[in-house]
Chain A
Amino acid sequence: MLYLDGIVKDFGGLRALSHLTVSFEEGQFVGLIGPNGSGKTTLLNCISGIYTPDEGTIRFQNKVISKLKPHRIFQLGIGRTFQISKVFNRLSVLKNLRIPGLTEGRMDVKTIDKRAEEILTAIKLDHLMHEPAASLSGGQKKLLEIGMVMMIDPRFLLLDEPFGGVHPELKSQLEDYLLRLHRAGKTIILISHEMPSVFRICERLVVLDHGTLVIQGSPEAVRTDERVINAYLGGNYEA
């Protein structure tokens, strides 16, 4: 479904992604892990169109998307969230959700607002609908970002550190919501350093280091791999 072939991305003299080839099948819940600077976020930025790869191609449903603009990629059904939430602080929570709904172009405002209310109820932010997004906590902003992405009912979700700095109670709510989305057929790629969560909810892990693929496979296979233990998890890791 999403196939990355030989992706290279350089920033000056630094190679962030080095001939990376990896694919993601429909309906999978994939954890993308690796040490800081391993190229995880750069990979998401390349998929979502914020960066154009220097080499290689990205195909989504047999269509090359490596040179498409971010809004086109979003309209194809690939939604993403950011490590530092990119919600629109001065707009109300409802207006934040309206934006992706309106860009989609096929829904009228009434339908958009109805869908927004459903999503806000699902992520338990419905009582804050008319509050400015600036008034939300960090965790609530992460939820709102996912809600914004869900407005167009995407096939593919790219989530960058959704659990980072989130209160444990909200984290568990977020995990439940992501599992519900996965059960509903969404493909999810999740970047996270929260290893217990990753091992609990992901069915496949992709490990990057220095912009290259170290290993991919089931959480059990990754957990016991020597290279992953040495490069990332550490010798005495227990999930």
Chain B
Amino acid sequence: MAAPITPTATPPAASYRPAGQLDLATALETYAGPWNVRLAAHLYRRAGFGGSPDDVTRAAAAGMHAAVDGFTHFADASALPAQPQLVDDRPNRAQLQMLVAAAQQPGAASTAPDDAVAARKALGRSRVKDLVAMETWFLDRMIDSPAPLQEKMTLFWHGHFTSAYQKGIPAQALVNQNNLFRTHALGNIRDLTLAVSQDPAMLRYLDNAQNNKSHPNENYARELMELFTLGIGNYTETDVRESARAFTGWGLDRDYAFRDFPARHDNGSKTFLGRTGNFTGHDIVEIIFTQPAAAQWFAKKLLEYFVYSEPEPALVDAVAALIRKNDYNLQPVMSTVLRSNVFFSDRAYRALVKSPVEFVVGSYQLFGIKQSDLVALGALRRMGQILFVPPNVKGWDGGAAWLNSQTLLTRENFASGLMAKMGDAGWLQRQMTSTDPAAVARALTATILQGDVSASSTARLTAYVDGSGISALAALSGENADQRVRGAAYLTMAMPAYQLA
């Protein structure tokens, strides 16, 4: 029979401590407790997408500060494709003329409906192709980037400053917006907000391209305050109307680029959040960021995304103060949060639900798979998250909203499929030659869950690998040990801990 196996990763000792009252006074001070694989994996799940077992082992060896610095100082990611291969999803001149003519002369035989039909169908096919290309490109960047926090922040901003692939927005404009998020990933939030206000996809998605002095459109001005920067209760309907006037004239030129049209701009005096002047969109953004509510808004959102749900008001205040102190520069803020007591507290550990994207990307990283495929895109759809198609301007709700029978079955079936066709990561292969079922079970739960598993589940998993004691496994013989190891890896991924970040 096979030689005795060499132990791989040693499962870390379960270090559960009853959660005490978190001391908010020292919540943002630098964590100085024990540093181990569990906390390194926690950092990787939050600041990245989970990482490979080697990533986590290295971070555990490097120490907390080096590990956090590895995230907050972005490594050079220029080797990754800067954008997907897109086909043209906008009508060309001939198609446009045909469609315009068709729209103007409804039903008239002279408009050559067959050509118009063909043009519409071709454009529909192009848009499907481009959506797949965009999703794949972003997913593959998340899987493979040497700067995981840059991609994580890009995903965060994509769900915050939402725009969706609809309303005829060209794929290229959404890719450009995504790269804008990437450029400003840990930059200045005020600068990013101004850039987003002039971003072509956003100008179309929230209708500011149609905002002019004779027909003001309030959509962007309203969402800018309600969902992007301040939150309801921190501005009035008058502020919405006045700021919409200030944004008049920011539109799109024929090449789908931002352009300030002075003739469309309302040059009258506006009163916004207590100040009066001939404001432009630029002034509105500046004034918004003088409001304490803006820092509170971003503090709460960042805490809910990176630390835990429903953060204590005092903690939100503390992070908001940090944001103001750094004049909305995010890099030092995240650098503090990611090495803080609260970030490594029991209150934060596995206290978030993995988003579908985190689940898929993390699983790919765990098994060393570099390229996503249509199976992953389909699974993401059934799990409730389509990249570039957030459900509405509020973005994805997250948390418990990711959890229902169908989304969890999809997660489990995705993991099962991944194990059926993949699973050739070295660390997994090594388990397939093992003769010690208990060691295999320990190695799997250590690598996949950092030992966050109950003793009874480990015992069950051992029996599964052994093929004994479980009637349903009678069909498995010693010859298909690889099947059992893959099956056991899948079962480990089905455990509740794996659904949690």
Are both chains from one complex? no
Please list the residues of chain A having a beta carbon within 8 angstroms of any beta carbon in chain B.
none
